[in-house]
Amino acid sequence: MRVEVVYAMAETQDIVAVELPAGAVASQALAASGLAARHGLAATQLQLGIAGRKLSPESPLRDGDRVAILRPLATDPKEARRRRARKPRPRG
């Protein structure tokens, strides 16, 4: 089966297509892509996802899946909203 593994950075995306045997899991796709080593990431501490949904490293894959290496959020969304709410708003 053929799947893509993607690591998106602020400026670019690194996409690697890999061929895996039927029944392969997400961690195998990550290892086959070589993206963790290429970008100096600790493979055991990465969060993976498909279509915005988190998955475990042992989640089975299907042909055509696009596995994304998820980066941690720069700011907690709740905290960002609190900061915006504290700012005075212009009257108009």
Residue indicated by tokens 């993976």: 48
Laid out side by side, the sheet with 53-55 consists of 13-19, 2-8, 66-70, 47-50, 53-55
pLDDT tens-digit readout, 25-72 = 999 999 999 999 999 988 888 999 999 899 999 999 999 999 999 987
pLDDT at 18: 98
All structural domains of the chain with their residue ranges? 2-86
**37 vs 52: CA distance, rounded Å:** 23
pLDDT at 9: 86
Phi, psi of 44 (to 5 degrees): -75, -15
Helix (H, G, I), strand (E, B) or coil at 19: strand
Return the CATH number of 2-86, one of 3.40.190.10, 3.10.20.90, 3.40.50.1820, 2.40.50.100: 3.10.20.90
The answer to whether the pTM exceeds 0.85 is no
Phi, psi of 78 (to 5 degrees): -65, -40
